[in-house]
Amino acid sequence: MLIKVGQSCLMVIDVQERLVPAMQAPARVIRNTRTLMTAAYRLGIPMLLTEQNPKGLGHIVPELQNLAKNGKVLEKIHFSCMNEPSFAAEFKALYRRQDALTPLALHGEMAGAIAGESLVVIENCGHLSPLERPRAVSAGMRYWLAR
């Protein structure tokens, strides 16, 4: 899958001073995150970074703080970023359609592999459509159940 700059956003979630040491291979996490952040900066891909309870868990690790200045760092108290109103608003304002976890083309392939099924695309949302557009998801589900 090729990443399209105008449809992408890099999210760096909770790479913080007191969390990173507890991660498996912390040096590799920092190195790989730095690589991704550098690429995003050079390509002009927006970056959203989170800090879970920074008063207790610290801030973005020092090795990434200079690159973090190129993005937007948002505090959060919820485990899920999309449950954090400030993050959800920033993410939605970017309107990035490409989802690297489950790309739209993959959803089309899955729907096409099931006889009689079709894909319903819910616009203006990303990977968490039930949280981002609950009414549209409910309408799609009602349509599917009524068939």
Q: Name the segment(s) of the chain with CATH classification 3.40.50.850.
A: 5-94
pLDDT of 88 reads 80
CA–CA separation, 84 and 97 (whole Å): 20
Amino acid at 109: E
Mean pLDDT over the full length of the chain: 84
Residues 67-106: pLDDT tens digits? 999 899 999 998 888 788 888 888 777 766 666 556 677 7
**Looking at the domain covering 5-94, what would its CATH class be?**
alpha beta
Tell if the pTM clears 0.75, that is, is over it: no
CA–CA separation, 10 and 96 (whole Å): 10
